[in-house]
Amino acid sequence: MAARARRLPRPALALLLLLLLAACGFLLLPSLPGATGGGQRLDLRDLLALSVAAAEAGGRRVRAVHEAGSDLQQRSKGQTREGAEELLTAGDLQSHRCMASLWASTFPGIRVISEEHDEAALDLSEPWDGKIPLEIQEMVPSGQTVAMESVTVWIDPLDATQEYTEGLLSYVTTMVCVAVHGKPVIGVIHKPFSGFTAWALVGHGANVSARDAYDERSPRLIVSRSHAGTVRTFSQKAFGTNVNIIPAGGAGYKVLSLLNLNKADQPDQADAYLHITFIKKWDICAGNAVLSALGGHMTTLDGRDIDYLDSPGNKEGLIASVGLDHLQLVKKVSALEEVVRKE
């Protein structure tokens, strides 16, 4: 009687088939950002949801401090390069501790760069609860992962501190940005005093959008309140005397002014965001990611991408837009580079 051939178990057959396909070059595995192998891998959808949770949690601290009374415990950290006082308040510190603790307790070892630093120990007792907001579930698929060592998280616990102390609360935001290999891929901008949150994941969508039209000939330029006069002088040379300058506080607020938002969430609307001096990267990383997700751009004045790998400062100024010919904007403001170098 002839011996019966032994059948391989189905899992073994499947594995053998995969190996044969790979050997023949027919099996293509998806290429993911940061897929360099080794180490812990993080799901981009989780990183986005955690970024939203951190920005909103920090925002609650910012609002609570302000609503508790007039004593914000403000003190000076020194002066900016433009000579303006750089303030620190209890709102900054409490938001920083809250946001940084949430990241450290959820993903120990992840690289986080924050605007603020203090000696208080982070609270690692309450990690993120893992809840994914429904709108993120609907727009962002799970399974897109990056290596932890490729990630840098930038947090701004309180953007527009000066305006916070003056009661100009519409300018105030809390922000989180996730950069992968130095490129901004997740951006969250939260407004604590209206409750509005803008988020975006490059390549997968956002809960905000660009407007239908922008004015390229005589753009409304949104600029820093601290040096609006200087920017006006140079902007008129670049765009003509009809250019409209909108002074505003906070880099997050300025980016939101470029988007299609209602007046309640965003009082000002601009066509481009211009900054001609030194600026910290925690101020701009989140906005850069949001604009990139919408097909827009944030570059140095000479049109180069801004790297968010480590160095905290951007010395080359910036021009940001969405819905405009960004290259043409760069050509018009390129004359400002010499001014920036002197700052």
The label of the residue with tokens 């209206």 reads 194
Closest CA to 157 of 289, 58, 54: 58
- Show the beta-strand stretches assigned E in 261-323: 272-275, 279-280, 297-299, 313-314, 318-321
Q: How buried is 25 (Cβ within 10 angstroms: 0-12 exposed, 13-18 middle, 19+ buried)?
A: exposed
The one catalytic residue among 46, 92, 159, 271: 92
How far is Cα 76 from Cα 70, in angstroms, rounded to an integer?
17
* Residue 224 CA from chain centroid, whole number: 18
265 is known as an active-site residue: no
How far is Cα 290 from Cα 296, in angstroms, rounded to an integer?
8
The label of the residue with tokens 């005093």 reads 193
Pairing of strands 220-224, 244-248: parallel
161 is known as an active-site residue: yes
Q: How buried is 269 (Cβ within 10 angstroms: 0-12 exposed, 13-18 middle, 19+ buried)?
A: middle
The one catalytic residue among 161, 173, 277, 299: 161
How far is Cα 183 from Cα 288, in angstroms, rounded to an integer?
9
* DSSP result, 157-224: EEE-HHHHHHT-GGG-EEEEEEEETTEEEEEEEE-TTT--EEEEETTTEES--B-S---SSS-EEEEE
Contact 86, 160 (CB under 8 A): no
Contact 146, 35 (CB under 8 A): yes
Helix pair angle (44-67, 90-106), 10° resolution: 150
Residues belonging to the active site: 92, 161
